[in-house]
Structure 1
């Protein structure tokens, strides 16, 4: 598996210094930042890493999310509000990402819709593959929430996590849905200092995920000339 939702995990194309990592006396890995602060590389609660809770609440897409795009690979789709989100050029480095989005009111909030043909057995299996890869490629990582949700009458894996990539703090929300031939995902992310103000907008965006027949024809869209901060796909180590 060489794509995953890791396409949504940001490694910027512009040059940024990697952080320095060190070990504490009791063997825990820490990352040292240029401002002389530090964090444990992984601050996830062990129970959050090992278990997936079930949220009994039923979630639905926003009534304003009226425009649908469909995956070209699997039977999954996504509704979004075209008044609040614009489609931008997807990163050329990723074949996983089918659509990239930028928020109209806050240019620091980004979204990605992607899919992969892959025989993943369960959402739990997908989480077990995903999380270790993110941990290996982040300077700092904390899984905040991992739960099953019913969104638009489909069962999804809902993830919320924090990460630091080359000195920049980000917050992520992602929903993943298994199909008969693979999986699709919606992820949305922003800078940590923008998260609280943007959380409702991000949740509404992520709740657009739906079951849909895969797109049989290419949809022509107007692509914005200005790209969001371009994420790259991270390949799983062989």
Structure 2
């Protein structure tokens, strides 16, 4: 069983509940961090001390204080933690239940478990910790149902490329030039405009800014 666990959760009552539940069935050292930046510092410090954390349990949203924060979301946090310590196990424990987001974390962030908060959240978290400790991927019933949904809108590689270029601030003329230089078709400005318009319709977005925000919130682009 895990001997050293770090919990990233911004609410004190949630932290206490998680710590209490985990301590009931393991003798692991359990540390907590209320902010993403603090979590990163603790991960690095543990590695430097030669006693790294084996498991990170993280929420996805964090309420920030008056201080400046470099990392503000669980998605960014997990991505950064994986860069620092690739072998650490990660369980997401959150109230976020959107199927597209759940699928994205398993596919893109390579997490080991996803548990939705709720009436049976803590008991499901214990099941997740047990499974992950045995190198088994775990999804709670809610997230498992989401993973099996077939009607989630998927983006084609070409559409993902367009969205990533929009995120980087490219104008449509610049996108066309980029596609030409990288031999990606279709690259005409008309084709690009039509595809972006279709994406706005698909995601019910009135502007490109709203489109980018929506797909980013759904975890469809990294």
TM-score normalised per structure 1:
0.20
Judging by fraction of residues, say which structure has more helix: 2
Higher relative contact order (CA 8 A, sep 6+): 1
Structure with greater Cα Rg:
2
